[in-house]
């Protein structure tokens, strides 16, 4: 090979790379715009879900006030709102990879996305489990109130609070 052939091949490679980058820039800009829109939508949905669970918490506590029960959904409120946020981000990231032309990552994310209905079902089960556990722990506290003094009830409520956060149920 002579020097002119090497220079021609190098120029050909540079032009191919340049053309690829020129074609990629509009896709990248559009993809980043889609990610920004997805982020904004995810934040809005997160806020709506968080407010809805707060409203649900107030309504449930008003209804259960007559039975002297208390339900606290504040910990599950954040968890469920963040779960919705990340699921929406996931879908918009999959769309981003499709736009910029990464079919391997897009197909991998699509396969991963098939598990999202199971994840949502798990979140709903956890949410209702927290509501039921909170209700049953309040009932057990109220039934024991006749046997125990106020001081021991307050210590038991702290034990039940610890158990609702995942440690163990001690009575």
Q: What is the pLDDT of residues 13-24, one digit of tens each?
A: 888 888 888 888
Supply the pLDDT for residue 1. Answer: 63
Say whether pLDDT at 36 is over 70: yes
Supply the pLDDT for residue 120. Answer: 78
Whether 78 contacts 50, CB under 8 Å: yes
Q: What are the phi and psi torsion angles at 8 (to 5°)? A: -65, -40
Least confident range of 44-58, 59-73, 93-107: 59-73
Q: Which one has a higher pLDDT value, 151 or 101?
A: 101
Confidence grade of residue 165 (pLDDT, cut at 50, 70, 90) = very low
Percentage of the chain modeled with pLDDT above 90: 20
Residue 135, number of CB atoms within 10 A of its CB? 16
Using the structure block, give the residue that is written with the tokens 């889609």. Answer: 34
- Predicted model pTM: 0.61
Whether 89 contacts 39, CB under 8 Å: yes
Q: What is the pLDDT of residues 55-94, one digit of tens each?
A: 988 887 777 766 666 667 777 788 889 988 998 998 999 9
Residue 164, number of CB atoms within 10 A of its CB? 15
Q: How far is CA 141 from CA 58, 117, 123, 162, in A?
A: 21, 36, 27, 14
Sign of the Cα pseudo-torsion (153, 156, 160, 165, in order)? positive
Percentage of the chain modeled with pLDDT above 70: 70
Q: At what angle do helices 103-113 and 74-100 cross, to 10 degrees?
A: 150
Whether 171 contacts 159, CB under 8 Å: yes
Give, as one character, the DSSP assignment of residue 171: -
* Size of the chain in residues: 171
DSSP track, 40-86: HHHHHHHHHHHHHHHHHHHHHHHHHGGGT-----HHHHHHHHHHHHH
Q: Which one has a higher pLDDT value, 120 or 43?
A: 43
């Amino acid at each position: 090979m002579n020097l002119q052939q090497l220079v021609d091949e190098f120029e050909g490679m540079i032009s191919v790379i340049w053309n690829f980058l020129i074609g990629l820039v509009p896709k990248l800009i559009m993809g980043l715009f889609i990610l920004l829109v997805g982020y904004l939508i995810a934040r809005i949905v997160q806020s709506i879900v968080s407010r809805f669970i707060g409203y649900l918490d107030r309504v449930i506590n008003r209804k259960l006030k007559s039975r002297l029960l208390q339900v606290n959904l504040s910990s599950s409120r954040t968890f469920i709102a963040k779960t919705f946020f990340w699921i929406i981000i996931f879908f918009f990231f999959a769309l981003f990879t499709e736009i910029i032309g990464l079919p391997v990552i897009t197909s991998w994310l699509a396969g991963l996305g098939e598990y999202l209905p199971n994840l949502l079902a798990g979140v709903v089960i956890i949410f209702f489990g927290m509501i039921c556990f909170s209700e049953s722990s309040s009932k057990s506290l109220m039934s024991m109130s006749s046997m125990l003094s106020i001081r021991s009830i307050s210590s038991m409520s702290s034990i039940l609070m610890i158990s609702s956060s995942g440690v163990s149920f001690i009575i």
